[in-house]
Amino acid sequence: MTAERSAPPGRFSGLSIKLIATIIAVILLVEVVVYLPSLATFRANWLDDRLRVGVVAARVLDAVPDVMALPRELTDRLLTSAGANAIVYRRQGQSQLIELASPVRPDVVVTADMRQADLMTLIVGAIDVLFASPDRTLRIVGQGDLDDSLVELLMSERPLRQDMLAYSRQIGIVSLAIAVVTAVALYLLASFLFIYPVRRLTQNMLAFRQAPENASLIITPSARRDEIGIVERELAAMESDLFSMLRQRRHLADLGLAVAKINHDLRNTLTSAQLLSDQVATLDDPKVQRLAPRLVTTLDKAIGFAQSVLDYGRETAAPPVLAPVAMLALVDDAAFEARLVGHPAIGFANAVPESLVLNVDASQLGRVLLNLLKNAREALEAAGTAIASPQVSVTVSEDEETVTLSVSDNGPGLPPRARENLFVAFEGSARAGGTGLGLAIAREITEAHGGKLLLADQPTGTRFDLILPTTLRVDV
């Protein structure tokens, strides 16, 4: 199944839109945090201005022995300048009051004590003004010009609320303007430094994926020495390696097709020669009788080599289909196919516990075990009587991270050349005429299961460790 191709981001889903929206949101959030103390300060200044007018009025009251003798025009002017309905001046336990000719009798009165000027109190008071009813009466309390004097103003809260709303609108407009200007400036900077380079990388990857054999699509790295520059250089190197690998794979595919055709014809020719050698072997000539077996053996090896090459060429890279498999039965089946069960000269021991169940591809992993067991049998058969009691065994060891199946024999071990190229196709064979394809395929299958196939280092015999992760274990 081919992977779904990625599409370029849309007009309103790209990184640039997300970046500018994030910048605006962050700036507005910061402005909100700054706005509350600013609004509280505005309210405090507004109240202080009204209170200062009240202090002036208090001085007039303090200078006049009889407040009732003050002209109504003067008192109304004092009240109007302060925007108040009434002003109370308290000193030495005495109170003096001036109020409008038609005094207001408020229903709801809220007090703003300017002697408490801590920030939290001011913020709470400002929020209360914005969200409370605008018909309340405000009582402003503050210190007079003398230490023992106190001034109180009674006035409608509506003017304060209107001025605070107007101030909030101004702050909002200014904040939005600052956010937009800052976001655009940061966007232009980020576009030059990040967004355009990332977009260039994205477009290149999409284009190269569609035509990986087009060398002109390999990205040209810039001279940047930061992380994006590193990504550009690594992407260019990866695309160059992929281009070379795909070209080599195409050449190998073409070569493999040609070799397969040649191999097929060669195998047919060798089969005909084998039939002819069988007929020659029936002649009574002593020289023919002496050379015929060697000829038959040579032709059998050549046919086997040709067949193994064809099988390897037809090998597919299908991923393993995982399912719970009892490993004891799987090892027994592999040993039977490897002709170890009932072997007249070689003993076989399967020490895999019955409780071991792994989530693996039975067909693929059985092929790995078959190859290892078959190699062990052939090594012991080749050693002949040099091994007193030839034996092949399969054991299991576990730790917190891995489950290891070990296939071992007490044969002569592997020669140095086979150890050096153990898992290399056509080079890792330990016996004459072998292709080395079995271990190469076994290693690929093991790695597809997330494991490793290793040759254990031991003084005598041969042991292969099939190491699988414990995540494949199934509890029964």
Is residue 1 scored above 50 in pLDDT? no
Residue 3 has a pLDDT of 47
Domains of the chain and any CATH numbers = 15-179 (no CATH), 239-313 (1.10.287), 323-472 (3.30.565.10)
Residue 2 has a pLDDT of 46
**Measured between alpha carbons, how far is 121 from 133 in angstroms, rounded to an integer?**
19
Residue 429 has a pLDDT of 53
> Is the CB of residue 140 less than 8 Å from the CB of residue 51?
yes
Where helices occur in 107-222 by DSSP H, the ranges are 119-131, 158-190, 196-210
DSSP class of residue 473 equals: B
Residue 203 has a pLDDT of 86
User: Helix, strand, or coil here: 260?
Assistant: helix
Torsions phi, psi of 398, nearest 5?
Answer: -135, 150
User: Helix, strand, or coil here: 323?
Assistant: strand
Torsion 467-469-470-473 (CA) sign: negative
Question: 435 falls in which pLDDT band (50, 70, 90)?
Answer: low
Look over the chain and give the mean of its residue pLDDT values, rounded to a whole number.
Answer: 78
Residue 232's identity, in one-letter code, is E
Is residue 416 scored above 50 in pLDDT? yes
Residue 51 has a pLDDT of 83
Residue carrying the six token digits 């059985």: 366
> Mean pLDDT over residues 278-283, rounded?
65
Contacts 24+ apart (CB under 8 A), 288-291: none
What proportion of the chain, given as a percentage, has pLDDT over 90? 17
pLDDT digits (tens, 9 = 90+) for 18-38: 777 777 788 778 877 888 888
Question: 65 falls in which pLDDT band (50, 70, 90)?
Answer: low
What proportion of the chain, given as a percentage, has pLDDT over 70? 70
**Measured between alpha carbons, how far is 231 from 240 in angstroms, rounded to an integer?**
14
